[in-house]
Amino acid sequence: MTKALRDGYHIGVDVGGTFTDVLCIRPSGDVIASCKVPSIPGQQWRGVLQALAESGLHPTELRGVVHGTTIATNTILERKGARTALITTKGFRDAIEIGRTRRMVGGLFDFCFVRPQPLVARRFRFEIDERTATDGTVLNDGSGTDWRAIAEVCRSNDVESVAIGFINSYANVGNERTALDRLRETLPAAFLCTSTQVSQERGEFERFSSAILNAYVGPVVNRYLDGFVAALKEAAVDVDVEIMGSHGGSLTLDEARRNPVRTFLSGPVGGAVGASAIAKAAGIRSFLTFDMGGTSTDVGVFPDGNARMSFENQIDAFPLRVPQIDLHTIGAGGGSIAHRAADGTLEVGPASAGADPGPACYGRGGVDVTVSDANVVLGRLPSGTRLGGHLALQPSLATEALTCLGQSMGTDDIVRLADGAIRIAVAKMAGAVREVTVHRGHDPRAFDLIAFGGAGPMHAFFVAEELGIPRVIVPRWPGHLSALGQLSASRRYDYVRYVGKRLSSIDQEELRNAAEELLQSARNDLDAATSGAHGQETELSADARYVGQSFTLAVPMPGNALDLESLRAGHRELHTETFGYADDAGDLEIVSLRLVARTHVAPVKLAYMPAGADIRSSGMAWFGDDWHTTPVIQRDRLPPDTLIDGPALIEEDGATTVLPPGWRITVDPIGNLIGTPEIPFT
């Protein structure tokens, strides 16, 4: 056993659609190992164990695991969740099918729009005679319900999960909890959840939908987590496992099992948190995150370094009322397939070659042209590159795949065909960045672009050129930044209390008492999660709106002090900042109180020392309309203050940075690659 491992270590694990990434740190925060291996569909934990084995780490010395996963997301998108039932208030069984008058997908004038089928078939929606008033008064407790009859129908139809959603339960959870107790007695093997367990937001359709999503993915996620933990124990890894949450904090294993719906953005959010850690260390204020992996690209906007949180989300058109870091995802990744569209033009994505068989150049049986194959043909992925340290690229197979595609497109110029595929992918990714910036009132030119993911550094400079972004940052370990984010994530708890009263008529003491109850719940949870914590914090805010509005603004309450005049002043300032005006004569409605509680973890250390003398070779790569002699540089041997003019390919374990002509890179003191155009954009 080496001295470096005697105090144990922690690992961040990110299981993506194509690769599984592992990053390892000591308790001191020093990074000591990283590994990337192909993901194994259906048995993702095997990839984790393979990564541990290949990194040469000692399983018995492991002290903690934080895991990011896409299991919940894939379960919904592929419609492979559990058969689910819904227990609801009499008269509300069709609420999830009626939905809102506002279309959730397709657009107002899309005549081909078809509302997606509910995840719960109508015959498995059971109504019971119960009722709670809007003020929380229980009008009917549902005591006449024949729970055994409902349970028998569920058992005989192989129903694995049951969601419980009652009208007005946000005001009083009593009837839902009673129903949960009865179902535990009659359906002990089923996955059970209440709507208020997932979300205590007002809005029956959204709350019921959130509970159904939770129940639908629950058994699948729990089977995965059980298998993951069992596989770790079999490999002599017996430690506490935490799961990355969509809100940017980690969840305990029990919380992830109870509310797997909170892990929908588990993997992508890890990258955003990792980028935030890099930005803070490098003194970067406002930035965009650009995370391009094998199957998708995720982008986010961080004005003044703050993540935009979303509380009204959708997963494949199904409403989800849980807090999430607001990221925009498109189906464009290194494995995205280039193909001939129905109108004869070239199209890229959203279908992906995934991990198995993967791009043609992987040599694992793939025959479709992917973005990675196009980069190989253009010389931007050198033939000697080994993905994940062991997967050797095969340029001849990429050439063969592009030749076949060219024949279907009526061309034998596979270089320009490959270049066209890259340009289309870049245009799509630039469009995704516009979605989170221009469409929301931000100028992308006022932000730095932080590029990561296995394919992000290959395409970031082209996206920046498209949008006029003046600076691109490629952090160290770009292919492992999601794992870095998981190791940087604090334990986070979110609390909501419905208020629903006007500011003119509310009692300030009543509001303060409600806030104190939330704070006490937070103290209890924080005290139970002190292991490894380096401090705690709580943030109180109020969801407020002018009477008659249908949207709210989250007004921060500095110091957790609830003062009505401060609340009004804060809402006025925020409304003016957001919409350009304020209504001083209008009364406010306080819809809800929110509280976020966090425990802090020790930051990952980002000290940088080059591994040795600079090593370079050269090759030919296609940029613009011609081939260029292009140096191939080993990144871990670049000392701080190194200046590199494009074109260049900068290689490292897990990613290749493609620096096109007209750009230059400098290496900052912590090893980030800082890219700027040689001639500033106007």
Q: pLDDT, tens digit, for every residue of 299-342?
A: 999 998 888 888 888 887 788 889 899 888 888 888 889 999 88
Tens digits of residue pLDDT in 437-463:
998 888 999 999 999 988 999 999 999
pLDDT at res. 386: 62
Which CATH code, of 3.30.1490, 2.40.160, 3.40.630, 1.10.287, is assigned to 491-599? 3.30.1490
8 A C-beta contact, residue 128 and residue 145: yes
Number of Cβ atoms within 10 Å of the Cβ of 43: 14
pLDDT at res. 92: 94
pLDDT at res. 107: 54
Q: What is the CA radius of gyration of the chain?
A: 26
Pairwise CA distance, residues 77 & 315, whole Å:
8
pLDDT at res. 193: 95
Q: Which fold has domain 3-75+223-263?
A: Nucleotidyltransferase; domain 5 (3.30.420)
Task: Let me know if 144 is exposed, middle or buried by CB neighbors in 10 A (0-12, 13-18, 19+).
Answer: exposed
pLDDT at res. 177: 95
pTM: 0.86
For residue 488, give both structure tokens.
């940087």
Contacts of 161 (CB under 8 A, 6+ apart): 81, 82, 83, 84, 85, 190, 191, 192, 193, 215, 216, 218, 219
CA 432 and chain centroid, separation: 15
Which residue type, as a one-letter code, is found at position 223? R
pLDDT at res. 7: 54
For 551-615, where are the E strands, in sequence order? Answer: 553-557, 588-599
Helices (H), 283-394: 371-377
8 A C-beta contact, residue 426 and residue 660: no
pLDDT at res. 1: 28
Domain map (residue ranges) of the chain: 3-75+223-263, 491-599, 616-677
Low-confidence ranges of the chain (pLDDT < 70): 1-8, 17-18, 27-29, 32, 41-43, 101-113, 355, 383-390, 529-534
pLDDT at res. 306: 85
8 A C-beta contact, residue 103 and residue 571: no
8 A C-beta contact, residue 250 and residue 68: no
pLDDT at res. 110: 60
